[in-house]
Amino acid sequence: MLHREGKATIFISLIVLSALNALVFWLAPNLIWLQNGIILISIVLLGIVLQFFRNPTVQVNVGENFVLSPADGKVVVIEEVEEPEFFKGKRLQVSVFMNPFNVHVNRNPIAGVVKYFKYHPGKYLVAWHPKSSTENERTTTVIEHANGTQVLFRQIAGALAKRICWYVKEGMPVKQGGEMGFIKFGSRVDLFLPLDAKITVELNQVVKGGKTVLAEIN
């Protein structure tokens, strides 16, 4: 299944690649090796675009105390930090980096109500840059669990990601593992958890959105 965010990109890719092939066939009708080469390159490029926008069905690992990974990728940060935007205090940060070959659907880590949402325009530093969390284009979403615990997570654009999509707004109830957004091309997601949260993953661990439990909260 392909994600709806990919429709325009896939359509444009088809038009451009078709035009390129038609041009080669017109300008070089006798160069069969060139024609075959362009066809092969076009198939590979289209395949890359299609795999990027894939949206496989996910059996959500629902758990009342679970904080699920918001995205497929690799854990690149686990540390205690100061969160200045919403909590204005110390929290445990867990960050997941998505490369261009990961599924880029973003999912709600917990069930609850969206208490805060804000979009921040910004730069496009590489997603693993330490300042990407505060200087890149990003969104900040805070979900409040039924027990009052609040979890903040950020979609962060990277050097290739030029568009962040989101489907939440303040006051909206959300389901654990439900789609909250999409980031086009390489990027990352940061989570900020209570200091007493029990982290259940390790650095460099590969995780799956909506399935891998990153932490357990009270």
Q: Of 69, 95, 133, 187, which one is the catalytic site residue?
A: 187
152 within 8 A of 181, measured Cβ to Cβ: no
Q: Is 133 a catalytic residue?
A: no
| 94 in Cβ contact with 75 (< 8 Å) | yes
Round to whole Å and give the CA distance between 124 and 183: 13
- Reading the block at residue 29, the tokens are 């009708």
**Selection from 41, 42, 44, 58 nearest residue 3 by Cα:** 58
Distance in angstroms (rounded) separating the CA atoms of residues 142 and 147 = 14
Query: Which tokens hold the place of 155?
Result: 């979609």
- Angle CA 21–25–29, to nearest 5: 160
Which tokens is 85 given?
A: 């935007």
Active site residues: 187
